[in-house]
Amino acid sequence: MDVAMIELSATAAVAAMRAGDITALAYAEALLERCVEGVALNAFITLDPEAVRAGARAADAHRAAGGVLGPLHGLPIPVKDSVNTAGIETTLGTKALRRWVPARDATTIARLKAAGAIVLGKTNIHELSFGWTSSNLEFGAVRNPYDPSRIPGGSSGGTAAAVAARMAPLGVAEDTQGSIRVPAALCGIAGFRPTTGRYPNDGIAPITALFDQIGAHARCVADLALFDAVVSGEVAGIEPATLSGLRIGIDRDFFFAGIDAEVAALVEAALALLSAAGAVIVEAPVAGLGAVLPVAMAIQVHDVVPALERYLADSGAPVDFEALFAGVSTDVADVFAQVALAGAPAAIAEDVYATARDTARPALQQAMSAWFAEHRIDAMLLPATMVPATPVADEGDVEIGGTPVAFAIAIARNTTPCSTLGLPGLVLPCGLTAAGLPVAIELDGPAGGDRRLLAIGMAVEAVLGALPAPILRG
């Protein structure tokens, strides 16, 4: 395996292939070899090396014939297995959809392919994207590259593990309440959830259209910007922002309350570095933010079943929701039976749902918009998760400073506001714990401020630096 090749960013790899410094086939072989080396991470559900090689040979032949080369020429990209891919199985991580091959790509995948990308494979996920561990009972648990006894986060855990482990520099993920950002944080990479609706979401297994958003994992912000340019169509270059005078807002009352001591220390160190670089740290609470968690859950558990029913019908899946649910693993089925199925004991009443959707959420969106404007905030900064990666198969309470905290709160409390309110969110690593586990910050921007947030992320990344690559264990 060519170590220099697998360490290339997507931007650098594409530039090298376009220039003829390396062939697409040689690059694909290096990544495929790394996939074999990291097979114990269980990052992929479907991986077809011959199809990848065929795509790489076609890319090389296209270049040799003088064809126009796309911005992703020859780049193998892993895709979360909740995103439809023509000619490749799309399982949603569940039994009933084993061997189902969609007739057409999701629009985002079609745009990536049109830009020259090759689908590397379909990555393992939390079943039906309904959880934060990626401990899939049907296809096996995904493992964290920094410590295989720990979770990679979910639901896009396979993509995050693959990118962190150098199986690919750029991958497709998806986020409803943190499913891009949690895995990015726990696996020590960058993850970008754009403003809701910035990238097309058709052909993606849903939870709720109000929050669902496809996005990307990478190891640097420049690659996230490359992905953004291809999928959004905004192709003008993004330059790093100037940190001097940049106003970074923090809400300690919500995001910093009760977090793990090592997480707190590393995030505070990141804030100190940014302050030393000229950023202005503005401490101000967001009015009413504590109401966001029940609003988020009410909308998701109400919408998920009808959303899946529509997705299965629209995608031409071979099963309806009833048949799909009959094969769902017990952990996810139990949650659906408790909160999401018709007649579930904790189902959300229609009036409660309507209030959450039509009153509470818009009020929170208005409060957040006013907070950015009133305090002249360029980006909000927060600890991405309350704790580092937790052990696989341990989803009980997490002990933080001697206090038991519900697993879902410890993992997803801090990612919830961004997706619930439709904001762009960018996760960046900020250090390792004493046990070698990644810790990350999240930067959120005002709705529609995606390119500005990526520019800020480039500047922040330059100050904080990247983590050392994980050492894969057999």
Structure tokens at 55: 């795509």
Give pLDDT, residue 250.
98
d(CA 186, CA 184): 6
Q: What's the half-sphere exposure (Cβ side, CA atoms, 13 Å) at 409?
A: 20
pLDDT digits (tens, 9 = 90+) for 161-180: 999 999 999 999 999 999 99
pLDDT digits (tens, 9 = 90+) for 224-248: 999 999 999 999 999 999 999 999 9
Rounded to the nearest integer, the mean pLDDT of the chain is 98
Give pLDDT, residue 474.
64
pLDDT at residue 433 greater than cutoff 70: yes
Backbone angles phi, psi at 39, to 5 degrees: -60, -30
Quick one: pLDDT band at residue 473, thresholds 50, 70, 90?
confident
Backbone angles phi, psi at 2, to 5 degrees: -85, 105
Does residue 119 contact residue 87 with C-beta atoms inside 8 Å? no
Quick one: pLDDT band at residue 134, thresholds 50, 70, 90?
very high
Task: Tell me the percentage of the chain whose pLDDT exceeds 70.
Answer: 100
Quick one: pLDDT band at residue 156, thresholds 50, 70, 90?
very high
**Whole-prediction pTM value?**
0.98
pLDDT at residue 91 greater than cutoff 80: yes
Residue 113 annotated as catalytic: no
pLDDT digits (tens, 9 = 90+) for 331-367: 999 999 999 999 999 999 999 999 999 999 999 999 9
Backbone angles phi, psi at 401, to 5 degrees: 60, 35
Span 422-451, average pLDDT: 98
Quick one: pLDDT band at residue 394, thresholds 50, 70, 90?
confident
Residue 179 annotated as catalytic: yes
**One-letter identity of residue 183:** P
pLDDT digits (tens, 9 = 90+) for 179-220: 999 999 999 999 999 999 999 999 999 999 999 999 999 999
| Chain-centroid distance, C-alpha 394 | 22
Give pLDDT, residue 3.
84
Span 7-25, average pLDDT: 98
Span 9-15, average pLDDT: 98
Span 146-151, average pLDDT: 98
Residue 156 annotated as catalytic: no
Span 382-411, average pLDDT: 96
- Of 129, 155, 156, 315, the catalytic one is 155
Question: Which of these, 157, 77, 155, lies nearest to 109 by C-alpha position?
Answer: 77
d(CA 373, CA 369): 6
Neighbours of 264 (CB within 10 A): 16
Quick one: pLDDT band at residue 1, thresholds 50, 70, 90?
low
- Of 80, 82, 315, 419, the catalytic one is 80
pLDDT digits (tens, 9 = 90+) for 295-306: 999 999 999 999
Give pLDDT, residue 59.
98
Give pLDDT, residue 2.
78
Quick one: pLDDT band at residue 395, thresholds 50, 70, 90?
confident
d(CA 312, CA 316): 6
Does residue 129 contact residue 174 with C-beta atoms inside 8 Å? yes
In angstroms and rounded to an integer, the radius of gyration of the C-alpha atoms of the chain is: 21
In the 3-class helix/strand/coil scheme, how is the chain assigned residue by residue? CCHHHHCCCHHHHHHHHHHCCCCHHHHHHHHHHHHHHCHHHCCEEECCHHHHHHHHHHHHHHHHCCCCCCCCCCCEEEEECCECCCCCCCCCCCHHHCCCCCCCCCHHHHHHHHCCCEEEEEECCCHHHCCCCCEECCCEECCECCECCECCCCCCHHHHHHHHCCCCCEEEEEECCCCCHHHHHHHCCEEEECCCCCCCCCCECCCCCCCCEEEEEECCHHHHHHHHHHHHCCCCCCCCCCCCCCEEEECHHHHCCCCCHHHHHHHHHHHHHHHHCCCEEEECCCCCHHHHHHHHHHHHHHHHHHHHHHHHHHHCCCCCHHHHHHCCCHHHHHHHHHHCCCCCCCCCCHHHHHHHHHHHHHHHHHHHHHHHHHCCCCEEEEECCCCCCCECCCCCCEEECCEEECHHHHHHCCCHHHHHCCCCEEEEEEEECCCCCEEEEEEECCCCCHHHHHHHHHHHHHHHCCCCCCCCCC
Does residue 172 contact residue 194 with C-beta atoms inside 8 Å? no
Structure tokens at 408: 């879902």
